[in-house]
Every structure is written in C-alpha cells, then in structure tokens.
C-alpha cells in the first residue's frame, strides 16, 4: 500500500509536468487551431538558454529562468509571425509541416552545437526527502507538484478573470464573432504563442533537473504531451489537466508493478486504446461531421 502511494505521488509530479507542457500546446491550439510540433524543441532550446545564463554567465538562477522564459516568448512570437501565420489560410498539412520543420531545425541545430552530452542542470529543490505520515517523498516531487498546480491556478485566473483571457476564450469559441467584438486577431495570435511558448520553457526548466539536460531530453516528453492533448480532448483545459495527471500516475504504477523497461510502450498502447473508444478525448468538444 505504501509503495502504491509513493508511486502515486511521483506520478502526480510527472503528471503535473505533462499537464503543464500540454497546456502550452492547448493554449496555442485553441486560439489558432495549430498543433505546434516544435513546442518541445523550443522548450529544450530555452532550457539550454537558462543553463548557460546560469553556468557561463553566473547569473542568479531566478534571473536565468526569467531570461529563458523571455527568450521563449520572443521565439514564440517570431515563429508565429514568420512560419505559421502566412500558412493559416492554406491546407492543414502545410502548417503541420511548417511546425515539423521547426522541430527539425531546432533539434538538429542543437545537436550540432551541444552533441549528445549530458548537462547537469542545477536542482531547484534539496535532495533530502521528507517524511509525511509514513510516506517518504522527495522534495523535488513536492516542489514540482506545487509549482505546476500553482501555475495552473494562475492560468485559471488569467483565463477566467482577465480581459486577455476572456479574449482568448472568445477566439477559441468563434473567431468571426470575436473579430466583430473588436478583438484584434493578429495581436491575440501573438499573445497565445507567447503564453504557450513561455509555459513550455517553464516546463522544460522544471523537467531538466529530473533527468539532466540533453538535446534529446524532450523527445519522449513532447510525444506524451501530444498524447495527453488528445486524451484530454484537444481544446479542454480541465481535460488536459486530468489526462496529464492520470497518465503520470498510470505510468508510475506500470513502472512499479509491471515493468519500467516497457513503461513508455505500454502507456502509449493504453492511450491508443482509449483513443479508439473515445476519439474526442475525455472532455473535448465532440465534433459533429456535417455533410
């Protein structure tokens, strides 16, 4: 029983990261209907920026993180303007290819610069585990869980109680009406990409100390983020949070009781099965096909 609880706590930490990463994707997707396949690689790049700001330039870690997030925001806005917006009017395949090309450009360039080396990212939380009731929990897990839940609350506030959030929700619901109400679409496109990319950078930085920073460290992670996106229903924030946390917990339980070697494969297969039963995801809008 104790083992089960331990697995659930570490699952919640992993799941919190999945949910955060996916929220970045979903924020962009809801507003612009673009699935940004370069999201993970942009997060990887920003994390490298944070790493070098911290180690090479000896900036305090907080400043390094802020610098990296600002970098991500700038890159997000730039990419949206240059590589995504011109294609929005074309077929879906071309914008998809465009974000895949971003993936290749960032990933391969990063590989040429940093190779396959591991970069040890400074931990944010002390390694000493704490005892809670009769559970032994690492501070890292507690830290990740609190930061990710905190950010989710901030996002909830942003979307429910600010004008920008209201505009983003209006855009997701009906773009034509949003324009008629005076919402400036180009500005909102930029805002959603900035928010999504910034969130991606934060997630990348939180994740880096967990498994060390290297060029491929986002490869599996971003795929899981996409899986979570589909599971949650593409455009539902609540669905994504539930799906992210469930995937994290499920994986850790599989790793604990079945096999850690086949953890990724098994969880992906389970997810494909879920998609078969419910293609619209847990809480996604069911699309009715009109002829």
Residues that bind other proteins (CB under 8 A): 32-33, 35, 83, 86-94, 96-98, 100-105, 107-109, 111-113, 175-176, 179, 185-186, 219-220, 223, 226-227, 229-230, 234, 261-262, 264-265, 268-269, 271-272, 275-276, 279, 289-291
> CA–CA distance from 18 to each of 144, 203, 243, 246, 268 (Å)?
11, 8, 9, 10, 14
Rounded to the nearest 10 degrees, the angle between the axes of helix 2-32 and helix 163-173 is 80
Count of positions (residues) in the chain? 291
Residue among 88 and 142 whose Cβ is closer to other proteins: 88
Residue among 19 and 147 whose Cβ is closer to other proteins: 19
In the bound complex, what is the minimum distance in angstroms from residue 39's beta carbon to other proteins?
13
Residue among 83 and 142 whose Cβ is closer to other proteins: 83
In the bound complex, what is the minimum distance in angstroms from residue 94's beta carbon to other proteins?
5
Instruction: Give me the half-sphere count of Cα atoms (radius 13 Å) on the Cβ side of residue 59.
Output: 15
Residue among 82 and 132 whose Cβ is closer to other proteins: 82
In the bound complex, what is the minimum distance in angstroms from residue 70's beta carbon to other proteins?
23
In the bound complex, what is the minimum distance in angstroms from residue 53's beta carbon to other proteins?
22
Residue among 212 and 259 whose Cβ is closer to other proteins: 259
> CA–CA distance from 102 to each of 48, 76, 85, 109 (Å)?
17, 11, 14, 11
Residue among 147 and 168 whose Cβ is closer to other proteins: 168
In the bound complex, what is the minimum distance in angstroms from residue 78's beta carbon to other proteins?
13
> CA–CA distance from 178 to each of 81, 164, 191, 250 (Å)?
20, 12, 15, 39
Residue of 205, 208, 250, 204 whose CA lies nearest to 227: 250
In the bound complex, what is the minimum distance in angstroms from residue 71's beta carbon to other proteins?
18
> CA–CA distance from 127 to each of 13, 123, 140, 143 (Å)?
15, 8, 7, 11
In the bound complex, what is the minimum distance in angstroms from residue 63's beta carbon to other proteins?
29
> CA–CA distance from 250 to each of 230, 247, 278 (Å)?
16, 5, 18
How far apart CA 140 and CA 267 sit, in angstroms, is: 24
Q: Which two tokens stand for residue 70?
A: 């600002």
Place of tokens 């970069």: 119
Residue among 17 and 234 whose Cβ is closer to other proteins: 234
């Amino acid at each position: 029983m104790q083992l089960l609880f331990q697995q659930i706590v570490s699952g919640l930490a992993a799941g919190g990261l999945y949910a955060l990463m996916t929220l970045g994707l979903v924020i962009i997707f809801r507003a612009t209907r673009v699935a940004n396949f370069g999201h993970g690689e942009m997060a990887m790049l920003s994390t490298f920026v944070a790493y070098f700001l911290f180690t090479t330039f000896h900036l305090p870690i907080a400043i390094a993180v802020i610098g990296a997030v600002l970098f991500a925001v700038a890159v997000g806005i730039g990419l949206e303007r240059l590589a995504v917006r011109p294609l929005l009017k074309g077929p879906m395949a071309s914008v998809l290819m465009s974000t895949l090309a971003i993936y290749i450009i960032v990933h391969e360039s990063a590989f040429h610069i940093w190779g396959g080396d591991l970069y040890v990212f400074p931990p944010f939380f002390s390694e000493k585990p704490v005892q809670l009731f009769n559970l032994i929990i690492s501070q890292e897990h507690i830290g990740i869980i609190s930061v990710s839940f905190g950010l989710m609350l901030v996002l909830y506030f942003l979307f429910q109680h600010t004008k920008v959030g209201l505009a983003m929700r209006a855009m997701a619901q009906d773009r034509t009406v949003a324009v008629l109400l005076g919402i400036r679409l180009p500005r909102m496109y930029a805002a959603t990409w900035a928010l999504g990319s910034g969130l991606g950078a934060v997630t990348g930085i939180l994740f880096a100390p967990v498994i060390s920073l290297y060029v491929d460290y986002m490869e599996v992670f971003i795929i899981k983020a996409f899986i979570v996106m589909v599971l949650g229903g593409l455009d539902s924030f609540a669905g994504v949070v539930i799906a992210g946390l469930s995937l994290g917990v499920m994986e850790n339980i599989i790793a604990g009781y079945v096999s850690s070697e086949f953890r990724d494969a098994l969880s992906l297969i389970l997810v494909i099965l879920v998609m078969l039963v419910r293609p619209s995801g847990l809480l996604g809008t069911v699309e009715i096909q009109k002829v």
